[in-house]
Amino acid sequence: MPSYVVTGVSKGLGWEFLNQLSSDPKNTVVGIVRNKPPTDARVASELRGRSNIKILEADLTNYDQLKRAASETAEITGGSLDYLFANAAYVTSFDTYDGIGVLGQKPQELSEEFRQLMETNVLANIHLYNLFMPLILKGDAKKVVVITSGLADIDWTNEYDLETTALYATSKAAMNMITAKFNAQYKKDGVLFLSVCPGLVEVGHFQDPSPKERETFRKMLVKFSKYAPNFKRPDTPEVAIKAVLWVVHSSSIKDGDGGRFLSHFKNKQWL
């Protein structure tokens, strides 16, 4: 019975991970959320009868709560874990529509948002990896995956002048490096670490923009269309997670995939 842990399963991509992975009754799927009761209620309503789902409560930025979640997971799975998906992330609207120079006009808010992004998207995941590593080392698949973003690609940023989402992209770039460093340490133990971008997915981040924000978003889509002429619109979570799972299941240390930063196409094509 393959076992999975996914953080941030209450909504968006995390919920779709929970849905797709638990559709196979042979899988044991542990979801970690900050607020357990609403997620339990949603599971009971929308994924009724899936006894292979276990929801645990932990704030990603609370080390003691994460440690407890790792211990509870060990009890559920018998002390091992096959797959760990670091999906939960802090996404700010602060940098969505303005470049880093404009953001600098609000230094206090920039500092606060940057610290929150780095604490949640990077430091918390370092603790997550370390706390669950004893279970992963006893697992069969031994795969650890962080959900990242193509916006963290320096070459793509420079070639297409992608000036927005500077702080968020920086946190993802940092986590890509952390994942590569974990790979460097644990590859010899048979653990595969991956950073996988799900593409551009519609999970409600671009709802109700102002006229100025709508124009900025339009310009960004024009750049995306030049980069990927076949790109029409963001993917649905269902399509995105199917692609991510294909990348994960088709990747291996043997094939040289350890520590790689990949798109949902298993290359560097982000859209």
Longest dimension (CA), the chain: 54
Identify whether the C-beta of residue 132 lies closer than 8 Å to the C-beta of residue 81: yes
The pLDDT, as a whole number, for residue 222 is 84
Look at residue 83 and tell me if it is in a domain. yes
* Full residue range of the structural domain in which residue 94 is found: 3-262
Look at residue 268 and tell me if it is in a domain. no
The pLDDT, as a whole number, for residue 32 is 98
Look at residue 197 and tell me if it is in a domain. yes
User: Which residues of the chain register pLDDT less than 70?
Assistant: 204-208
The CATH number for 97's domain is 3.40.50.720
Look at residue 270 and tell me if it is in a domain. no
Phi-psi region of 87 (alpha: psi -120 to 50; beta: other; left: phi over 0): alpha
- For the stretch 117-171, pLDDT in tens is 999 999 999 999 999 999 999 999 999 999 999 999 999 999 999 999 999 999 9
The pLDDT, as a whole number, for residue 145 is 98
pTM of the predicted structure, to 2 decimals = 0.95
Number of domains the chain contains: 1
Cβ-Cβ contacts under 8 Å for 173 (sequence gap 6 or more): 152, 154
Query: Would you please indicate which residues are annotated as catalytic (active-site) residues?
Result: 168, 172
In 3D, which of 76, 58, 184, 28 has the Cα closest to residue 127? 58
Look at residue 81 and tell me if it is in a domain. yes
The pLDDT, as a whole number, for residue 211 is 80
